Structure 1
Amino acid sequence: MKVTKTLAGIALASSLALPAMAQDPTFFRIGTGGAGGTYFPIGGTIANGISSPPGSRACDEGGQCGVPGMIAIAQSTTASVFNNAAVQNGELEAGLAGAYSTRDMYLGTGKFEGKPHPKLRIVANLFPEDLHLVLPKGASINDLSDLAGKRVGIAQAGSGTQVAVLQMLDAWGVNRDNMEEAELNNSQSAERLADGQIDAYFYAAGWPVAAMVQLSSTKGMNLHSFTEEDLTKINEIVPTYIPSKIPGGVYEGIDTDTLTPAVSAMLVVSSDLSEDLVYELTKALWNDNTRKLLDNGHAKGKQITIETALDGVEAMGVPLHPGAEKFYKEAGLLK
């Protein structure tokens, strides 16, 4: 898939250094995910928060409080793997991506063996993405081995979810040879589960996921709750997936907590961006105006905080962008 085209006919500014007088707009493309997931609404909120188009009212006069001259655009994509590749190749300035695929792509390990993406840089840890293993209402499985011979949605090609899920399934003896896989986005998966065309599907996203909210309130659904032993096993296979839970009551008809692995969602940029630009971007991400936008937007926005911005980043082995590092040092979050 290609990035959704927006602002047709407008050329991207050739330089992404801060405009001296904020006269000329700087267009800043942020890759997100499918409209039925979490990346797209969160990415839109971030884009709104860091934007401050030329000619707009000053922040202290009730205007936008983003980077002067910046027009940030959230674009729907196939998520993590696509976003990271597009940032590396200069097709996007930033992207939302899971820690798992970001680490492997930066280092050139795992599925990306010998294909490092050295330009990837971190701005912030955002929120945990819980892996949802969605089943029809009333259905259940003992463990992942029960998915052999089933029709299973493994998330869309180009997503970090699919890469991780295939590794997990393989550890339980399930692979493309003994299941009927479907490479679908979240909305497509929910529709096909509701229609009885697939038996289960995986999707990693911050709850509540819009397509699952709709599914649970119409056809109904169930979520697989992993055992603690299975969560330990998954963490050994995919270290960036850690034990988590989806609280009961998030989705209609599912009243108990669901134990599941989760991976952190990161805001990733290119090392080609100037230190000044990323410093101002990071500053705008954590100002009071963006805080209000995050608190009043998607439910996951409340979990995006400056206090957790650096959680897990050092352990990933992917560097912070120097502009973000400068901000966090000034904020007292880094020595």
Structure 2
Amino acid sequence: MKKRPVVAILTVILVIGLLSAGISGCGKKGGGENQPGQGSQKAYSFATAGTGGTYYPMGGAIASIVKEQGIDISVETSGGSAENLRLIQSGQTDMAWANASEIYWAWNGQEFFKDQKIQDFRLVAFAWGAAYHWVSLQESGIKTMADFAGKRVSIGPQGSGSAIFGETFLKHMGLWDKVKVMYYPPEDMADGLKNRTIDVMGYFSRVPWAAITDVSALTPVNLIDAPSEGEQKGFGQKYPFYLIQEVKSGTYKGQEKDIKFYNNPVYLVVHKDVPEETVYKMLQAIYSDSGQAKLRQTHKAGEDMTLQNALLGMDKLAVPLHPGAEKFFKEKGMTIPPNISSSS
């Protein structure tokens, strides 16, 4: 009978020890380094977008490429560009893809980020150019922006760069209050158009966009030349970071002539606290011969993510480059624009 208190005390000590071990193993998601002796590599989270666009597969390619450098990345779906920057700011993700427009607005607290400056991210590299496709079925008779009135228009998931562009453009064109706005993710847009639950789908994607290929294989589509009308109303003058991209005839089934779309460059961004050495090693892997081959094999967007293009358009954004990226590009003999230098 006298031994029972001793047994009880030992049991309590054992339970406390197990709980302490469990607590010490917990930490912030992403960017954490496992305890010595556990044999695991560093783990980071990478926010992309829906699985039907370019962001998700290209995020997967980056994760695969950098794994050989001992960098473990978990690729996650999200609402897209704008949400990605907010996720970085709140510490819920470590790295992401983001469009030039959202990067500029978030950093300066403008437009959709009014009064909420987001500045805990840093630029790493230009990735690719994404064209905003406006598409309808030919049978709908929707050929111009004016034809959108009274129609169901999907502009991408809420919080995404696509949805922000769609709202910005429709408001500029005086159509925002004249359409029924839908927020389909890219993987559902093709079905929405084929099933006639939406009349127009709009989304940023590298050319060619698989959703158009999917729909046009069954039903003729109209590709809508938004810049021809937008520029008449000064859209490009007000939003100069939206470039104009020409898509050659024959790119999509039934496309008999060249057409123009607005283009929004995509960048790789990371939280400012991601270690310099991590970003440096990531870029070593991304711009290696095997890394470049992997990007090209994954998606045509990978053709754009070259060392030659790495700093493209960053001077217009005036957002600091991550120190790890600056170190890497300087070693490659590249000139860093003064207004993005992390040492300025």
Q: Which residue of 1 aligns with 2:178?
A: 178
* TM superposition score normalised by structure 1: 0.85
TM superposition shift of 1:226: 3.4
Segments of structure 2 that go 5 or more residues without pairing to the other structure are: 1-24, 337-344
Cα RMSD (Å) of the superposition?
A: 2.5
Q: Which residue of 1 aligns with 2:195?
A: 195
Which residue type is aligned with residue 287 of structure 2? W
1:70 aligns with 2:71: yes
TM superposition shift of 1:247: 2.6
Of 28, 40, 46, 1:30 maps to 46
Residues 279 and 327, structure 1, Cα contact 8 Å, conserved in 2:
yes
CA–CA distance in 2 between the matches of 1:303 and 1:216?
Answer: 26
1:225 aligns with 2:241: no
CA–CA distance in 2 between the matches of 1:219 and 1:36?
Answer: 20
Which residue type is aligned with residue 37 of structure 1? G
CA–CA distance in 2 between the matches of 1:166 and 1:231?
Answer: 16
Q: Which residue of 1 aligns with 2:59?
A: 43
CA–CA distance in 1 between the matches of 2:27 and 2:313?
Answer: 36
**Change in CA separation of 1:210 and 1:325 when aligned onto 2, cut-off 3 Å:** same
TM superposition shift of 1:299: 1.6
**Change in CA separation of 1:299 and 1:317 when aligned onto 2, cut-off 3 Å:** same
Aligned-partner SS, 1:155: coil
State which structure, 1 or 2, has the greater radius of gyration over its C-alpha atoms.
Answer: 2
TM superposition shift of 1:304: 1.4
Q: Which residue of 2 aligns with 1:290?
A: 291
**Change in CA separation of 1:89 and 1:201 when aligned onto 2, cut-off 3 Å:** same
1:129 aligns with 2:145: no
CA–CA distance in 2 between the matches of 1:97 and 1:178?
Answer: 29
Q: Which residue of 2 aligns with 1:242?
A: 243
Aligned-partner SS, 2:92: coil
Residues 145 and 224, structure 2, Cα contact 8 Å, conserved in 1:
no
CA–CA distance in 2 between the matches of 1:193 and 1:276?
Answer: 46
CA–CA distance in 2 between the matches of 1:217 and 1:14?
Answer: 41
CA–CA distance in 1 between the matches of 2:51 and 2:26?
Answer: 24
Aligned-partner SS, 2:251: coil
1:210 aligns with 2:210: yes
CA–CA distance in 2 between the matches of 1:231 and 1:324?
Answer: 36
Q: Which residue of 2 aligns with 1:88?
A: 89
CA–CA distance in 2 between the matches of 1:76 and 1:297?
Answer: 17
**Change in CA separation of 1:19 and 1:236 when aligned onto 2, cut-off 3 Å:** farther
1:318 aligns with 2:319: yes
CA–CA distance in 2 between the matches of 1:213 and 1:138?
Answer: 17
Kindly indicate which of the two structures has a greater share of residues assigned to helix: 2
1:330 aligns with 2:331: yes
Which residue type is aligned with residue 302 of structure 1? E
Q: Which residue of 1 aligns with 2:152?
A: 151
Residues 125 and 311, structure 2, Cα contact 8 Å, conserved in 1:
yes
Q: How many correspondences in the alignment?
A: 311
Residues 12 and 26, structure 1, Cα contact 8 Å, conserved in 2:
no
TM superposition shift of 1:31: 1.0
CA–CA distance in 1 between the matches of 2:28 and 2:288?
Answer: 26
Higher relative contact order (CA 8 A, sep 6+): 1
TM superposition shift of 1:322: 1.0
Which residue type is aligned with residue 207 of structure 2? W
Residues 34 and 40, structure 1, Cα contact 8 Å, conserved in 2:
yes
Q: Which residue of 2 aligns with 1:5?
A: none
Aligned-partner SS, 1:77: coil
Residues 30 and 92, structure 1, Cα contact 8 Å, conserved in 2:
yes
Percent identity (aligned): 28
